[in-house]
Each structure stands twice: as structure tokens, then as C-alpha cells.
């Protein structure tokens, strides 16, 4: 049973992850990449890694350090310097960029233990991201909290059921002091009248120092 739970959780996470990245917004979440396009964000067109390798690679089959730098500095400085700013890519793209070195032999990707960093910003592995290729979006840089949280929140707000909202309001009211205090007093008074003991009321009421 435990193995099945882990398997099911992994499959659900992968499905949701793909939607968070590329969901088209039709009866589902509007994903990260489509959200950026909808906001009018101009993508950086890669020129490729030929400048690093000296080979014949181009933007249709590779990413170079110049492409990464162009993307990094295309983001507004205020957002770029946010502690929440990060790189998002799949594991294959991270592995590819980890092999890129400058002409001085400095690796593009820096490692701190198992964690990868580019320009001091963490690299987050997202299996749902595109692989490197023509007309693909294999790398995204920015504040992930904003890019992921807002589409998810918007989708849930748009698809929440009225009965569920009512049920949650009832739960909130039942757990509030406006309901619990009169309930405690009523139950305590009933016990006093019936059994002439304040013990239940003492147990239900908070005491100083508790």
C-alpha cells in the first residue's frame, strides 16, 4: 500500500507539474510559459553554444553562456535581485548547461553540494519544462513564487464550488470564539443543573498558565 501511495503521488505530481509549466488554461491551469506569453513577455532567442565550444551549434539545438546572460539581464533588476528569483529547467537542460565553460575555462553552472547555481541564483529542476530545441522554451528565469502561485490560485478561485465555500464558512464559524464560548457556557450550565458539579465547565475553559 505504501509503495502504491508513493507511485500515485509521483504520477500526480508529474501531471500537475506539466500543467503548471505548459497548461493552456482551457479547463485547467494556465501554466508558466503560456502565462508569460499572455503577459507579453518577449522571449530571448538563443544563438547557441558555438561561442563556447567553437563548433557549429546554433539556437535550434543548443544554449550558450551568452544566451543565459541575455536572459538573466533581460529581467528587471528589482526582480532579478529578489531572493526568490531562480532558474527553471528540466534535468537534461541542467546537465547540458553544466558542461558549458567560458573561454577562460570557468563553468557556467556552479555547485554547492547537490544544488546548482547560475549567476548566484538557484536552478530548480522542473520535469515539465521543454527540452532544448527549435521553438521551445527550455529555460525560464524569474520569481517562481509569483509565476507559480498566482496561476494556481486563480484557477482554484475560478473553479471553486459555491457549496464548498459555504461549507468552509460554516467550519470557520463553528471553530470561532463567537460560537465556542456560548457552547461551552451552555454545556457547563447544563452539567451544573443536572449534576451540581462545575468540573466539566472547568475542563472546557482555559486556565491561566496553560
pLDDT digits (tens, 9 = 90+) for 140-188: 898 765 555 555 555 556 656 676 667 667 767 666 676 667 777 777 7
Whole-number pLDDT of residue 25: 64
C-alpha 143, offset from chain centre: 10
**Residue that wins the pLDDT comparison between 79 and 210:** 79
Is residue 31 in a domain? yes
Number of C-alpha atoms within 13 angstroms, CB side, residue 160? 12
CB atoms within 10 A of CB 128: 19
Contact (Cβ atoms closer than 8 angstroms) between residue 131 and residue 93 = yes
Both 80 and 174 in one domain: the answer is no
Phi and psi at residue 123, to the nearest 5°: -100, 120
Contact (Cβ atoms closer than 8 angstroms) between residue 104 and residue 82 = no
Is residue 50 in a domain? yes
**Based on C-alpha coordinates, what's the Rg of the chain?**
27
Both 123 and 177 in one domain: the answer is no
Q: What pTM was estimated for this model as a whole?
A: 0.61
pLDDT in tens, 39-72: 677 788 899 999 988 889 999 999 999 999 999 9
Is residue 210 in a domain? no
User: Length of the chain, please?
Assistant: 210
Q: Which residues pair with 141 in a beta bridge?
A: 87
| Whole-angstrom distance, CA of residue 94 vs CA of residue 22 | 19
Both 37 and 137 in one domain: the answer is yes
Both 116 and 188 in one domain: the answer is no
Both 153 and 178 in one domain: the answer is no
Whole-number pLDDT of residue 48: 92
Q: Hey, CA dihedral for 144, 68, 46, 114, is it positive or negative?
A: negative
Contact (Cβ atoms closer than 8 angstroms) between residue 72 and residue 119 = yes
Using pLDDT thresholds of 50, 70 and 90, give the confidence band for residue 7: very low
Both 116 and 20 in one domain: the answer is yes
Looking up cell 521543454 gives: 130
> What residues make up the domain containing 149?
12-159
Both 187 and 150 in one domain: the answer is no
Using pLDDT thresholds of 50, 70 and 90, give the confidence band for residue 129: confident
Both 199 and 108 in one domain: the answer is no
Is residue 3 in a domain? no
Is residue 76 in a domain? yes
Is residue 42 in a domain? yes
Both 167 and 67 in one domain: the answer is no
Both 19 and 111 in one domain: the answer is yes
Closest by CA to 45, choosing from 74, 16, 19, is 74
Both 137 and 174 in one domain: the answer is no
Is residue 48 in a domain? yes
Is residue 103 in a domain? yes
Cell numbers for 25: 488554461
How many domains, the chain?
2
Using pLDDT thresholds of 50, 70 and 90, give the confidence band for residue 4: very low
Mapping DSSP to helix (H, G, I), strand (E, B) and coil, where does residue 121 land? strand
| Whole-angstrom distance, CA of residue 106 vs CA of residue 98 | 11
| Whole-angstrom distance, CA of residue 70 vs CA of residue 47 | 10
Both 119 and 83 in one domain: the answer is yes
| Whole-angstrom distance, CA of residue 3 vs CA of residue 130 | 29
Output the average pLDDT for the chain: 77
Percent pLDDT > 70 in the chain is 59
Amino acid at each position: 500500500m505504501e509503495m502504491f501511495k508513493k507511485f500515485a503521488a509521483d504520477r500526480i505530481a508529474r501531471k500537475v507539474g506539466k500543467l503548471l509549466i505548459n497548461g493552456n488554461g482551457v479547463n485547467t491551469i494556465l501554466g508558466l510559459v503560456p502565462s508569460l506569453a499572455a503577459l507579453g513577455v518577449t522571449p530571448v532567442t538563443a544563438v547557441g553554444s558555438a561561442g563556447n565550444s567553437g563548433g557549429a551549434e546554433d539556437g535550434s539545438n543548443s544554449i550558450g553562456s551568452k544566451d543565459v546572460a541575455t536572459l538573466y539581464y533581460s529581467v528587471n533588476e528589482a526582480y532579478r535581485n529578489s531572493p526568490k528569483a531562480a532558474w527553471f529547467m528540466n534535468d537534461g537542460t541542467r546537465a547540458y548547461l553544466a558542461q558549458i565553460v567560458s573561454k577562460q575555462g570557468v563553468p557556467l553552472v556552479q555547485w554547492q553540494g547537490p544544488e546548482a547555481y547560475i549567476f548566484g541564483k538557484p536552478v530548480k529542476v522542473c520535469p515539465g519544462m521543454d527540452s532544448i530545441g527549435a521553438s521551445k522554451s527550455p529555460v525560464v528565469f524569474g520569481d517562481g513564487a509569483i509565476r507559480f502561485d498566482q496561476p494556481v490560485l486563480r484557477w482554484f478561485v475560478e473553479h471553486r464550488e459555491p457549496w464548498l465555500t459555504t461549507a468552509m464558512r460554516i467550519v470557520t464559524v463553528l471553530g470561532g470564539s463567537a460560537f465556542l464560548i456560548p457552547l461551552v457556557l451552555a454545556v457547563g450550565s447544563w452539567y451544573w443543573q443536572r449534576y451540581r458539579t462545575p468540573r466539566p465547565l472547568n475542563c472546557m475553559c482555559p486556565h491561566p498558565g496553560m
